[in-house]
Amino acid sequence: MKIYMKTAVSAFALALAAGAAYAAPATNGSVVSQYGRENKANVTQLVVSASSGVEQSGSKNTAIVLQESSAAGAVSSISQESFDNRAEVTQAAAGVVSTVVQTGEKGQATVVQSAKDADSSVSQRGSGSTLTVDQSGEGAFSDHKQHGFDLEAEVTQSAAGTVSYVEQVGLFNSITIGQSGAKASSDVNQNGFNNVITISQVGEGAESNISQTGETNRIDLAQSGANALSEISQSGESNKIDVDQSGDGAVSMIEQDRDNNTLNLTQTAKAESWITQTGSGGLVDVSQYVDGAYSSVTQTGMGNSATVVQGSPSK
């Protein structure tokens, strides 16, 4: 057992509820509690008012906490069970809060928070999953859960008031979220095998709600216009959705079921489109380039194909 600490330790009690993260102390200092074998904790606090709590049980778990001199009032809590888990938390702004709970094996969680009042919660259960959170927007909030095997998630929030919820269940699923628009929000739920979701939101107030279940499905969403909204629900096998919204007030609501479906949607300017596709072999391609455009496509059956083009690409 190895403990490296660079901080003044206050005398406060450890409170660990069953299945919950250790509640970091309200007063200044750091507490490390270890049960098991070959666990490692390295806590460095360069500010007087920061608090850190580490609870480790099992074997060969590693917890690394760095709270910079600019992290007044920062709180970090890490709870690790089982074995070979690794958690790294770096906090460099006032009032930030980080909670990491790892109850599986070989999980890796990295949290970096460099903006005031950012808040991150990470829960990993299963084996071999990786999660990275980087928050540099003031008041950014993220809540991420991984329950499964070899899951990957990467979340970057660089604008004020951004919000991200992620829940992954299954095997070999991947989620990448980048939010650089103020008050952008994303809510992602992914369940299955070998699924991929990629989200990029730049516009202020952009919102995305995505649910994906099944096998070998892929969703790519890019929203760069203000207040763009997209709700996507995809289930089945080998489905693909590409959405690109760059105009103000754009709205798209997409639902795709069954297998081998493909959907491409591009909206620029003020446009609305909602698409429902059920069956096999269905293909939908919608491009809208003019303000006020509207499109609704519904396909049910086999061998379907729909193409909608409104406006001019030159506009």
pLDDT at residue 2 is higher than 60: no
Query: pLDDT tens digits, residue range 113-152?
Result: 999 999 999 999 999 999 999 999 999 999 999 999 999 9
249 burial type by CB count under 10 A (0-12 exposed, 13-18 middle, 19+ buried): middle
Q: Among 65-69, 70-74, 223-227, name the one with the lowest average pLDDT.
A: 223-227
Question: Are the beta carbons of 144 and 121 closer than 8 angstroms?
Answer: yes
- Write the DSSP assignment of 56-75 as a string of letters: EEEES-EEEEEE-TT-TT-E
Q: Are 199 and 218 in contact (CB under 8 A)?
A: no
Average pLDDT over residues 202-214: 92
Beta-carbon contacts of residue 18 (< 8 Å; ≥ 6 apart)? none
**What pLDDT score was predicted for residue 246?**
85
Tell whether the model's pLDDT for residue 312 goes beyond 90: no
Give the tens place of pLDDT for each residue, 82-111: 999 999 999 999 999 999 999 999 999 999
81: pLDDT strictly greater than 80: yes
The answer to whether the pTM exceeds 0.85 is yes
Both tokens of residue 247?
A: 């105009």
Q: In this structure, are strands 218-223 and 196-201 parallel, antiparallel, or unpaired? A: parallel
